[in-house]
Every structure is written in C-alpha cells, then in structure tokens.
Structure 1
Amino acid sequence: MDLLWGVASALHADPECAFAEHRAAALLTGELRRAGFDVRQDVPGLPTAFTARAGEGRPTVALLLEYDALPGLGHACGHHLIAAAGLGAALAAHAARDGAPGTVLAVGTPAEEGGGGKALEAEAGVFDEVDAALMFHPGVHDWVRAPLTAQEQYRVGFHGRAAHPTGNPTEGIDALAALIELFNVLAGLTHRLPEASHVQGIITHGGTATNIVPEYAEGVFGLRAATTGALDDLADRLRTAATGVAQATGTTVTVERATVRYEHFRDSEPLSARFAAHLSRAGIDLTPPAPGVYLGSSDIGNVSGLMPAIHPFVAIMGADGSDHTPEFAEAGLSQRARGVLASVTEALACTAVDVLADDTLRTAAWRAHGSAPVPAH
C-alpha cells in the first residue's frame, strides 16, 4: 500500500494535462515493468498512452488507469487515485493469477478530461479481445455505477457578407445576427428536450470591428444526452436549426463535430455487483445513484459499448462537496482518500481475478451486455 500511496502522491504533486502526461506515464510503466509486465507505448498518435500485459490468451481483464489533471486545478478529479488503484489491482491480479490461463492488461488512458483517450484507444483496437474493463472514480457519493451521459461538441460557422453598417447597410449579410438567432431557436427547444438532454453554446467569433457587418461568426455548442442515440437526435436538431436559420437570414452555414464523441456509460450489473460485494468487506456499501441525477460524461462510455465495464464512484469527501474544485484536490491527499485507495484496489483486484477464473460470471456479464465476446485471433 505504501507503494501505491507513493505513486498517487507523486502524481498529485506533479499534475500534467491532457496528452502531456509524460512523467505520469513513465512512473506507471516503470512500476509495471518491474513487476514483469510487457509494456508497450505504441498507440498511434498517443505518446502518453500505454498497455502493459501479463499472461497470455483469453480471458483478458483490463484495468484502466487515468492520470491527466485539470488545467489550473491539478488533480481535482482524483485521477491520481484512479491510476494508483488500477496499477495496484493489475499487480495484485497478476500475482494471484500465478501462471493460470488468461491475461491481465493494464491500460494507460490519457486525456479523459476532454481529449477522449479511451475513445481513441478503442478505435485503434486496444480493447479488442478484452472480456471486461474495470476502473473506479473517486467522488462525493458511494454509487455502484456512474450515471454518465453521452457528449460531444459542434462548431457552427455562419458565412455572410461584409459591408459598412451606415454607408451601405443593405449590402451586408450579418453572420453574427444569424448566430444569435440560432441561440434563440435552441433556447426555444429546451423545454421540449428529453431528460438529461441539453445544449450549451458560446460565441467564439463574432466579427472584427463594430463598423463592419460581420461576414463570419462562429459558435461552439456542447451537446449532452442520456444515451448515444438521444445524442444523435440532438445533433440532428442542431443541424436542422442551423440550416433553417441560414435559409431565413441569407447566410450559409457549416456544422462540424469539434471534439471526440463520448458515448453514454453502459454499466455491467453482474460485474458491478461483484465489485460492490468485495468492497463491502471494507465497510463501504455502494448504492444505486440518485434518480434523475447525471454526473457529466466520460470516455469510459466508449469502452463500455464494446465489452462489460464498471465505473463505480467511491466518496473521498462529503456529499456537500464537488469534484473539479480546489477542495476536492485537497481531499485527494487525505487519510480518507488513502483508505479508499486501499479498499478499492483490493476490490478491483478481486473482481479482476473473478473475471479470469469464473466462467459463469463472464457469461452473465456478456449476456447482460447484449453481445458476445470478440473471438481471439
């Protein structure tokens, strides 16, 4: 446990943001190499991603390690604890495997905070032939699963025609006015959207001078929805609204996805129940999330669409607190956080061993997922 707390503390003291987590990746891969894992950093375009493999063949259980920090806030989302717990669980599961068939796979997943490292890794095939993906997230609740929505951002650009607003105003086509009208149209949609769906936009370009009718205006719109399908519907509404505004104002419009899409999280009830049972031995009892509460989005959603996955929340501070705050960053070095790290690491390791050893559990997890495992090559 001293090793894991040392790793967590070192990461906390040296925060690195999305896609720049070079020292964090070096620290984690160094520990995995020392334990005999085959470490590779060969995910195309992701120099701070890595995989570390021990064993061979199926079944394969993946422990996911996050380690990116927040700009200006450091580890105010607890990723230093996620990394340390994933590391410890991988080491313990490998030791418990003791030469038995199967593979323990530690996956370093950079840039959860906006870059979508797991989504990019999934596209690159990192999670092919994996039977379960396990991680936890520190929080302010003890919840057995994460109510995480689907999310993506779109860049909308209106093109008009510049003119002098006094000298020849009728020659101008005001792109900024069109963008503002889109905001008004979207505001009118709000009360008609399903639960957990919303659109939040900002203006990123509104013109260059007050004495020029803006010929170009641009906004970025963040879309969230309870499911990935609902997100598709919301994106269609955005495109339809933007096209209608362009037709009404005489502008032209482009609508382009601006970020990696985060799919909604699909919890594996069989695996989450097994993890919760292990964690309860440490006196931490997990409950379902509060109805109607959604806690943002994460690229674990993209992984959970491919295979059974878990992403429980375990509290390191009271429910009146919040992550992404200086107070949460401070709580990440508390004695409570240290105790949570020890308990969660053991529960993750036990669940990983169960995945490797228990055919019935794996079958139940895949059946609940609604798909079949990818055959081994």
Structure 2
Amino acid sequence: MLHPLVLGLGRAGSGLHLRVLAKARAIAPELFHPEPVIGCDPAPDARHDLSGVITTDSLASATELLDPQRTVVHVCTPPTTRVAVLTQLAQRGFRRAIVEKPLATGIDELREIDALRQRYGLDLVVVSHWTAAELTERIDALVRRGELGELRSIRFAQDKPRFTRSIATHGHPTAFDVELPHSLSVVLQLAGPAEVQRAAWTDMHCPDTVLPGMGSAHLVLHHSGGVTSEISSDLTSPVQQRRIALEFTGGQVTGHYPISDQDDHAQLVIDGQRHIFRDDALTRFVLLAYRHFHTPAAGGHYTLQVHRDVVRLLADAKQRCARAAERSSSDAR
C-alpha cells in the first residue's frame, strides 16, 4: 500500500487531487495506506479547512511523517518550479510521483528532469487524464476500427475565462502551458507523431494590466500519417468549453469533455446521434497510476514519453510566437 503526499494545496492540489484521492481510496482501498493523506504547502491559508488531511508547511516536515519509499507524491506546484521540486524530492528519497501538466515549460528543463530520472530512478506519471477518459477511449475505438473511414482532421477548442488566476499566479508562462497539454496529448494518441505547422498567441488584456502571451493560444499540427490537428484555447472567453471535432472520410464526430469537477458527464455525437455518459477521467487516471506504481511497467509510464513530445511541440510553438513578436516589435520601431 502506498501513502499519498499532495505537494501544493492550491487549485490543483486541494481542489482536484485531494477530492479525487478521497474517491479513489473508497473505490480501491487496497492500493492506499489507510492513514490520512498528507498535504504540504507553506501558505497558511492553503492548509485551512482540509478535513481528513494532515497538513505540513514544508517538505522536511512531511518527510518526517512518511516513508519516502512507500509514498506517491502528487506534485501540484507551478510548472516553473518543476525541476527544483523534483530535485528536492529525489534528494529526500522519494521515487514515485504524479506530476501535474505540463511536465516542463521548455526543452532545457525537460533535459534536467530526464537527468534526475536517470540519476535517482524516478518513476514519474504525468497528469494526462483525458487520455484515460472514456470519451477518448470511444473516439480512439472509432479511429482504430475505421467504421467512419479514415481520420482526416481534428479540431480542439478549450476555452474558459481565466483572468483572476492569471493575474494572481505566474506559474504558467503562456496560454500554451495552461490547457493545451491536455488536448495535445489526446491528438497525439489519436493521430500519432506530429510537427508544428503554425502557432500563434495573443495577450490577455485585463482592466489594470496586460499579460503577454496569456490571452489565447493557437496551434496547427501535421501528423506523420497525414492528419491535420488544430488546437485553440482562449483564456479570455466569456464561456467555457472542452470540445473535440473529428472529420473522417465517411462521417463526423464531436465530443464534449466534462466542463469542470461540478459535473462528470461527457457527450459524444456521431453523425448527429448523441450519447451521454459518466466520465470521471481524473479518478480513473489516478487509480491506473497507483496500479502502475504497485506493478511498474518496463520503461516507465506511458504518459512520460507522450508529455516529452508535448513539451517539445509546445516549446517549438512558443519559440515561433516569440520570434513573431520580436519581428513585429522591430517593424513597429
């Protein structure tokens, strides 16, 4: 049995991982240590009102309550701190971790994480619950069986208003780092390896400030099998959606992932016929991750390579956007 440690008690840590752990422990208690989950965050406000959780203000204090060799760390700290946090965990003897997306915000950080993995034997699972979602599973089956012909294109839209969090926190450098790691991992699963064709971002214009590169992100990919994927995310949108649309030679499919933790129903529309079903993907993903930690797969968890590709593609997209911004600034002068 493994003991969960949730590192970082912000939106992801307390709002998602602690909630999902409570459900997962009830579904499969044999996977988890029976003692309360440990939560760690230096901010006093983050440690308030967490029923059934033992909280600490530092990793050193948390380590005193745990056996690192029998612990799974849920890394819910900002992605810009990823290398430093994983280094601290490795040095204290922790080897298993579920890491919030993105795995890294750039290629240099990814290389440092790869070096840490090799040096300390880290077993990392990157949060990629949409790849484990039933909606994705049903779409993947349609692609593989060829019932609607060959897949030609995928369009993904992930829109939501994210002004307050973007102003208050700076752990996600651009709009590419917020929602696109989810959708990008799905399109790579459905259509295979890809390269960037086009990329663009916009700034977030708030009442009192402008956040460069945080307004929206747009990415067009060409997959090696000939499929084109187009992913967009607008963090200034007045409405929220998580929509995937697939064009086949013999039909169309549209899927809607659950919009938030308030409702776990997904919808799938196949040539006009709508199917509605429960799809608590994150709970399912966490259970699969803990089963992996009990019986590790050779070569590591599948999400590791997927998210290495995600980091590479997003780094390419961000570099293209940064160069375009530099050219625009130069032309304006």
Task: Compute the TM-score of the two structures, normalised by the length of structure 1.
Answer: 0.27
Task: Compute the TM-score of the two structures, normalised by the length of structure 2.
Answer: 0.29
Structure number with the higher strand fraction is 2
